[in-house]
Chain A
Amino acid sequence: MQQISRSIYLVEAKEIVTVEVDAVKVGNFVTFSLDGASVDPSSNAPITYTFKVTVDAGLTHFGMASSHFPTSAPDDAMYQIYVSGDKGGDRFTGSDIKKPDLLWRRGIEFRRA
């Protein structure tokens, strides 16, 4: 896996992609959507989503992490996204979502070259 930006990654065929979301000062009130369907977390500490790359070359898996901050969460509460793949590359730091943000969801693209 290669990181193009915090939200765009180059992936290989059949690569197992892992998306982790660290909830800071807030509970794990996060969901992950991939290509129109919800992905169930494979772990809750931190909350982790995995999937296998199935698209053909030139196409993209469209992901999106959505989060919620209860009113009682402090204003510096945030979610930090990490992305990694099983075919090389680091554990990349992805986007973050902060309570004061206008939007509490972040898109992530997994592109096949």
Chain B
Amino acid sequence: MRNQLCNRKPVQRDLHRELVSGVLIICLITLLVVQPTSAQQTSPSIEQLKKEISLLESVHDDASVSSQVQAVNQKLLNDRRVQLKELVEVGLRSMKEYYFKVESALSKKERHSIEELIANLEGDLSNLKTKLSAVKPDSALVSRNFLASSNPAFASTAGLQNPPIETTNPIRSTKPAPINPLIVTPGQAGCYPNPHPALLTAVNQAAQDIVDNNNSNEVGTYSQEIVFFAAVDALAVDSALVAKGKKDFEKNINILRLSKQTEETNKQIGSTARSEGTTSAIEKPGFAELLGFAVENGAITKAVSGTTLTLSTSPYAFIVAGQDDTATVYKNNGYLSRLGISATFNIDNKDNVLTNASRKQLSEWNLRLRLSGDRSNRSEEAEAIWNSEVRAKFNGPANALTGAHNALFRTPELEAKRRAAVNKLSTIPAVDAARTDGTLSRNQKITQVATSILCTVKSEIVDKIISGEFGLSSDSQVKIIAQRQLDFNELTVKQADAIKKFDGKLTALTFKPAWTLAYTNRREEKTSDYSTIKVLFEKKIEKKLNWTANAGVSLYHKPNAMLKQKQYRDFAIAFSFEGLAGRSPFLSDPDDESQMTYAFTGSYQRLFENRSFAGKKADIGAGQFKFVLPVFTGLSIPFSVTYSNATAESRKAGVRANFGITLDTDKVFQVLKIRKERAK
């Protein structure tokens, strides 16, 4: 019905001009009303759009048609042309991607036929662009439609008044655990509602640097990403599927890594197994963690467990207290991290625990010397893995970006235009105004700065590439950008894969056996002070199984003859077999992978002075089973049952049970990070 009416030609133009105009208005209004509904049901084909455009163009070219009709007709014609442009761009992009992939496998004839198809599509696109650019824009609509055509991810939202905020993670280099948020999200900058995710990330980072350093020139650092992905947007060579696949891939990696962190159980910082307030029956050599903690927090760290306060440090912590802890300093002084020192104090004053750090409150101090090699991520071994297996693949995305610039800006004229554009990005008045506005918060400044940069990118780069003023629109340049975009996506995935393997190998480093020599000086109120020298051993058998063993002797400093003490106090050995029993069934948060852990520990101690007392036993054996049950995120209940054939004070055999509550704030933060990541 609609087409019949529209096809009826005004044969008696002179006599029935007004009547025909009326009929046309009815046709056009019908198109306006009906088209959105039908478009939702089925997308028009290229051929169908071409027919409709041809019809509308015939009205457009008809000088007898009234201006009122022309205005309505022009809008419909524009809409059809924009829709056709989108379809042609999608087809062109798909064809180019296909061609780049299979080019080497094609015969000359086959290549020629595909090149002809591409050339036809490019011709159609060029004609459409010319016609669209000749029309004065109905600003908001054209802007949205431009973006719909340049970034296919936005196509489905074209025509909506308010573009929705994209909820997927933007493209980022290889970031495993984002901490700074993406402050300006897709759709927030009305002048450029849906920029390429990599462009948006670069602009957000630039805005943060500009605000944090109070310098508008910081945007230059990200000009390569900005110019390249603006060109990708302008020339519609992005591949939504590749980008989305990569984004999902990175998001999954981020969540996987964070989940792995919540599984960590090998974190034991604090006093030795004999101190009060601990359920541990054996000491772990986990000295690296201890030092890592010390370096992170300063020269000395403190840890409170039950009724004890432990202060820890290392010579290396003092080396880096007065300078940056650089890789070079670590290379030259890292051996000092082999030695750790800690002191444990009994807590009397719980309001200010550091006041307990006095000689009077000192219960023990100890030295630990790591005998085995460095297994940290700063070790020579970690660096060797990086150099041999990761470095070459890691640089791919950067090579794609610098290579694109090198290939595109090869003439002084074009390079001058690029420099001028970068200079404009560095001298945006609105950016200067926002960054120096004392009434704005940091986030407000970043939002305004990022939005201003995006608008300038749109007007100074994207629009000028489309109009041809910037350059970069020749076939060879478009081909370079398209190919580099594919390279960038492909190499980013390879980079992420290399990083994943690298992190796996860093984990494998921790599977190597660790040997530590430990010296402990114990202060005893009722008996005599003594020292213990132990060798500690730890070996992960696999991810879920861990062997720990130690053996040592204790010596009295001043043996008390009245108590039958001699120089040697005791000899002791202990071993522990620890494992993971799976995720706790009590955890309600699906992101929390905290594991139930169990440990079987056996120990034997020969307490020499007990040989002289009838009511005591010299040979003391004990076996312990310990189970740690996470009940909420970060909150666990450790429970242990110990059987011993005697104690140091009595030869009476017995069973005792201990339990407690531990809170791991790190785990709570990790789960919060995962939630934040998922919410993106």
Contact = CB atoms under 8 A, between A and B. Distances in A.
A45 B331 contact: yes
A33 interface: yes
A7 interface: yes
A46 B327 contact: yes
Contacts of B422: 8
Contact of B403 (A37, A47, A101): A37
A26 B390 CA distance: 16
Given A33-B398, A62-B406, A70-B506, A6 B325 contact: no
A24 B327 CA distance: 6
Contact of B327 (A45, A57, A72, A104): A45
Given A101-B205, A102-B205, A25 B325 contact: yes
B426 A59 contact: no
B395 A33 contact: yes
Contacts of B74: none
A22 B415 contact: no
A101 B182 CA distance: 10
B368 interface: no
Of B180, B218, B327, B395, the most chain A CB neighbours within 10 A belong to: B327
Q: What is the interface residue range for chain B against chain A? A: 35 or more
B293 to A, nearest CB: 9
Contacts of A29: 383, 386, 390
A86 interface: no
Contact of B415 (A28, A59, A76): A59
A71 B177 contact: yes
Of B221, B225, B409, B426, the most chain A CB neighbours within 10 A belong to: B221
Interface string A71-113: 1111110001000000000000001000111111111110100
Nearest to B392: A38
Contacts of B325: 24-25
B416 A60 contact: no
Given A7-B221, A22-B327, A26-B327, A75 B179 contact: yes
B383 A102 contact: no
Contact of B295 (A25, A27, A65): A25
Of B324, B377, B499, the most chain A CB neighbours within 10 A belong to: B377
Nearest to B179: A100
Contacts of B208: 101-102
Interface of B: 172-180, 182, 201-202, 204-205, 208-209, 215, 217-218, 220-225, 257, 260-261, 292, 295-296, 324-328, 331-332, 376-379, 382-383, 386, 390-392, 394-395, 397-407, 409-410, 412, 415-416, 419, 422, 426, 499, 502-503, 506
Interface of A: 4-8, 22-29, 31-38, 44-47, 56-60, 62-66, 68-76, 80, 95, 99-109, 111
Given A35-B405, A73-B377, 15 more contacts: A4-B220, A25-B296, A31-B394, A31-B398, A33-B401, A38-B399, A44-B331, A44-B383, A46-B327, A72-B292, A103-B205, A105-B397, A107-B224, A109-B223, A111-B419
